Structure 1
């Protein structure tokens, strides 16, 4: 098993960092080869430039600006996202990473005369995980439609292998969290990881 962890948070002392460490600990404990992409630490530029957009469908030229991330994505069979939910969705940094890295002929295959719609490009991804925090309560996030969760687990999930195993854990009401609620969530993340990887 080869796991790619995509981590997105601007502050090193955040609770999201504790979630990341819990995920990495479980991967290490199971002897799973792991690569970590820390978007803020790397200073990743989330903006899809006009130049990149012009060659968006031209493979492999479209990969050149983000080749190392494309290589990591193609190397993995397990993909895990760790981020805070902001305005019910993905942080701009993470959304920009998807825009720039999940390219035609990498994450999906463009339509052809024989195939009228896009096709899966991530069939090597057998496991897809999301670990997040939300300031809003569960009911409000659900009422709004949980767009961040849906983007990854449904949208990205459709590009992965059929029967792709999925894991999700969110600490809701993060702004009023307590030591006890945060500890309980980290324990939940560890349990979810163990089931996810078994």
Structure 2
């Protein structure tokens, strides 16, 4: 009986470990493919006007560069699970750079935004889309409850970049809070 129990526990552990490794590898592969797609979109559609820019849900629309982390991350239109598995999700009803509104980008804390806790006030973020490059500077951060919906206002009065991810960063399971990074545009 002890041998059977030990074998069952070991088998379950191996299966869970294998599943976890497969999930991580799959996400990294999807993110790499999305980054290649984003680079093509940015290069191919250069000169497109911001009025012509209308990315499809699930498709790469641009690149988020975080110089301090030496990271180039694909921006994918949409924030459902499939979209976030490909990269940084752009909240579909929010704005893009130079559209004078709230730009909301979300990502998983254990994939694309794994190191966002290393960012400080004053660090820069760059968004590249087919109609230009836009630089933002982090102004402040905030931690809110996971159910706090006051962060996404979709205001159209001033341009602001908001990055959101789950928090605490090393929490196992569904995190109870969200880490919010606010940034203001500093130049093109």
TM over 0.5: no
Name the structure where helix makes up a greater proportion of residues. Answer: 1
Larger Rg computed on CA atoms: 2
Whichever structure has more strand as a proportion of its residues is 2
More contact order relative to length (CA 8 Å, sep ≥ 6): 1
